Amino acid sequence: MRIKYPITLVYLVLGLAVVATPLYWWTYDFGGLLIIGTSPFQFVITLLGTTLEISGLITAVLEAYRAYLIITLARNIYLVTMKDKPVRTYALTSLSIPYLIYPLIIYYIANYVFGVYHVPAKYPLVLMDSGVMGMNYGDTNILMTITITPHLIYWVALAIGLMAIPAAIETRRHNKSKQAIGSEARNPTTRPQGNI
């Protein structure tokens, strides 16, 4: 059996593998006081070493979304392999790219909140790595290390999400060739010429 859309098939199979992998994509550690582990399919907040109960509720909703994506990707793999219908989903693309922006959002929100409530602190711009947040409380200077870590599974998800571009090109190319063959069959360019 020949697969007409190999790039799309690889994109879908790898996407299914990433979605089914139960790992956190990013970890945000605020001096060990607050640790957040997150992915589009699970979420945990640990405050002072205790996991908050809201984490379980959020994770349950995200796991339902994971199940939906697994079913959708499995169906799309079936359609590509058995029916030669190139169905793609841009879920990994739309889920992985915003994670690059989240550290900026946290930076602006933290500094806005500190400013509104007149907290003598400055949240550092930490995109991926560590930074130190300084806070003055009376005569005491408090330093907190902030670490934002993307995990390997995130980079794999981002790379697979970007595979949507060549998959779309492959699909478009096959669709154009189908349309060209169909229009030739309806409007042949060479007509037999008879004697006048």
The pLDDT tens digits along the chain (196 residues) read: 688 888 889 999 999 999 999 999 999 998 899 999 999 999 999 999 999 999 999 999 999 999 999 999 999 999 988 888 877 778 888 888 888 888 888 888 888 888 888 878 888 888 888 888 888 877 888 888 999 999 999 999 999 999 988 888 888 887 666 655 555 555 655 555 545 4
Other CB atoms within 10 A of residue 103 CB: 19
Indicate the residue type of 10: V
Alpha-carbon distance of 184 to 176, in angstroms, equals: 12
Alpha-carbon distance of 114 to 105, in angstroms, equals: 14
pLDDT at residue 42, as a whole number: 94
Indicate the residue type of 183: S
User: Which pTM does this prediction carry?
Assistant: 0.77
**Strands, E, within the chain: which ranges?**
26-30, 34-39, 42-47, 50-51, 121-122, 129-137, 140-150
pLDDT at residue 39, as a whole number: 93
Calculate the alpha carbon distances from 152 to 23, 24, 158 in Å. Answer: 10, 10, 10
pLDDT at residue 112, as a whole number: 86
List, in sequence order, every residue forming a beta bridge with 29; answer none if it has no partner.
Answer: 35, 147
Alpha-carbon distance of 35 to 48, in angstroms, equals: 9
pLDDT at residue 187, as a whole number: 60
SS3 category, 128: coil
Calculate the alpha carbon distances from 156 to 2, 94, 152 in Å. Answer: 27, 14, 6
Task: Calculate the CA dihedral of residues 188, 190, 191, 195 and round it to 10 degrees.
Answer: 180
Among 44, 43, 41, CA closest to 21: 41
